[in-house]
A and B are shown apart, each in its own frame.
Chain A
Amino acid sequence: MKLFWAFARQNFHAVAAYRFDFFLRASSILVLMYGIRWLWITLYTQRPGAFGVSLGQMVTYGVLSMAISNLFFTGPPYYMAQQVRTGAIDLDLLKPLDFHFHMLARSTGEMLFRVLVLALPGMLVGYVLFDLQLPADSKTGLLFVVALFLGYLVSFHLDFLLGTLALVTLEIHSIDWAFHATSRFFSGQFIPLWLFPGVVGTVANVLPFRSIFFIPLSIYTGALSGRDIGQAINFQLLWLFILWILSRWMWGRVQARIVSQGG
């Protein structure tokens, strides 16, 4: 565990060096919050109380989604692709340290950094400027944090699997694009899944992506309550378990055939 924090802290400092970049990212979140808020206001003027959700809840869902959007997919696939391309992956593999664990530590360090500089200020601005509501009670808030962290772990493992795949194909950008498009759609980042019609809705409910945005956000806004919350968190845990096993297994197979391109 000490080792885990050492890596997390190291990466935390590495990204903290690019302060201006983060300032710009924070500003771009502001633009998105502004946009999404107006979109829902416009749609709700046409149809107040659509789908049993109030405008306040819907705006909170959208604005919060933008505030936390940088916490997921913190970039192991790019790190892995880069290490293979430059040959530096040798050094990572030589470390007396499990690679999967190493990636998780790096990624978590970056995620925590983003919580501090992007998500929390984003939520504050959202609260002051864009009608972001507070959760109904502290228990809801706590469950939101739990679900958010589980969502992060699911996103990390999807990312890790993608990175492992990239080591085989030696190509990352296109795969990453297709993957992120899928996640954008099925995670509920922009549109909550209760708006999805028929078959699309069923598919979205089965895939792991809804663990990432939809479940934490639904808990926060109160769209999920009571026993449904427990069910949703179980869903996250189940997918986390599956993805964890899958990651270990895939990595074990791929590790043996990594072709390093000479450093």
Chain B
Amino acid sequence: MNGFQLYFRLIQISLLSRMQYRANFIAGILGLIFWNVINLGLIGILVTQFTSLKDWTLWQLVFLYSLWVLGYSLYSLFFSHTSELENYLLEGSFDQFLLRPASPLVQLLGRELQHTEIANALIGLTGISLAYTQLDLHWEVWKWGFFFAAVVSSAIIALAINLLIACSGFWTGRSRGTSIIVNQFYGLVQQYPLDVFGSAFRFIVTGLIPLAFMNYYPALVLLNKVDRTNPGWWLSYVSPLVALLLIGLVSLVWRLGLDRYSSSGS
């Protein structure tokens, strides 16, 4: 079996075991829908009371939010369990990945499928479709291409950032704490355009933790908001490139981490 076949076989097994708990599945989906409705409700109240947020209208904000949700849902659907790496490292159960005759990374990635995230994907798609009609957008063919590339890039960026955090566990033993902070950045970038915040924030989520490439920058292109007089205008187009760079970085760090790994032994 090659890596891909193995990955899909692992996913299939995980899905079969998850479907044993149907009530949890439905409760999980309802919980997700509810959460998103509440978030959008809060944004909705703010924007209707203040008519807009900088030059972002309600439906543009819905688009921004939904683009993030769609990309992130692809990540969580397939890969959200990567944050469990910390536990495997601490308990020493990471050894089993190394003993089996298959790539440890494929084994980790294929460990689970978070199937309730389908709901988030649908919410993202619904939000984008509604915003598309409300804003009367008419994308040319290349924009549709850019849209799909942006969504995939967004998922990859989320995966890469979370894997990098998880990999830090190879050195420090603990990694979950860092994700608590990064999650706060996620929340802000997901809901509000960068224009709202100061330049320090813009620098962090562009250069250090490149979350803004998940929704803000591609949304500028897709909503025709790119301002060519702005020296950083080209950033709006480079999400796929950022995703590729991060893939390279992750595979490097992962390999270094594996070399570093010595079992906790238990």
CA distance A42 to B27 in the complex (A): 38
Name the interface residues of B88-141: CB closer than 8 Å to any CB of A.
none
CA distance A185 to B39 in the complex (A): 8
Using Cβ atoms and an 8 Å threshold, which residues of chain B touch A195?
Answer: 45-46, 49
Query: How many A-B pairs with Cβ below 8 Å?
Result: 95
CA distance A185 to B197 in the complex (A): 22
Which of A32, A35, A174 is in CB contact (< 8 Å) with B30? A174
Chain A interface size, under 10 / 10 to 19 / 20 to 34 / 35 or more: 20 to 34
Is residue A25 contacting chain B, with contact meaning CB distance below 8 A? yes
Is residue A47 contacting chain B, with contact meaning CB distance below 8 A? yes
Interface string of B39-52 (1 = CB under 8 A from A): 10110011011111
Interface string of A1-38 (1 = CB under 8 A from B): 00000000000000000001100110110011011001
Chain B interface size, under 10 / 10 to 19 / 20 to 34 / 35 or more: 35 or more
Of B30, B34, B51, B201, which is in contact with the most chain A CB atoms at under 10 Å from its CB? B34
Whether the pair B35, A177 counts as a contact (CB closer than 8 A) is yes
Whether the pair A50, B50 counts as a contact (CB closer than 8 A) is yes
Knowing A25-B180, A31-B185, A171-B23, the reply to whether A178 touches B31 (Cβ < 8 A) is yes
Whether the pair B38, A38 counts as a contact (CB closer than 8 A) is no
Whether the pair B30, A178 counts as a contact (CB closer than 8 A) is yes
- Chain B, Cβ-Cβ closest to A29: B184
A42 to chain B, nearest CB (A): 5
Whether the pair B180, A24 counts as a contact (CB closer than 8 A) is yes
Q: List 19 A-B contacts (CB under 8 A).
A: A24-B178, A31-B181, A32-B187, A35-B192, A35-B197, A38-B201, A46-B52, A47-B51, A50-B50, A171-B27, A174-B28, A177-B34, A178-B35, A181-B35, A182-B38, A185-B42, A190-B42, A191-B42, A191-B45
Q: Chain A residues in contact with chain B, CB under 8 A? A: 20-21, 24-25, 27-28, 31-32, 34-35, 38-39, 42-43, 46-47, 50-51, 171, 173-175, 177-178, 181-182, 184-185, 190-191, 195-197, 200
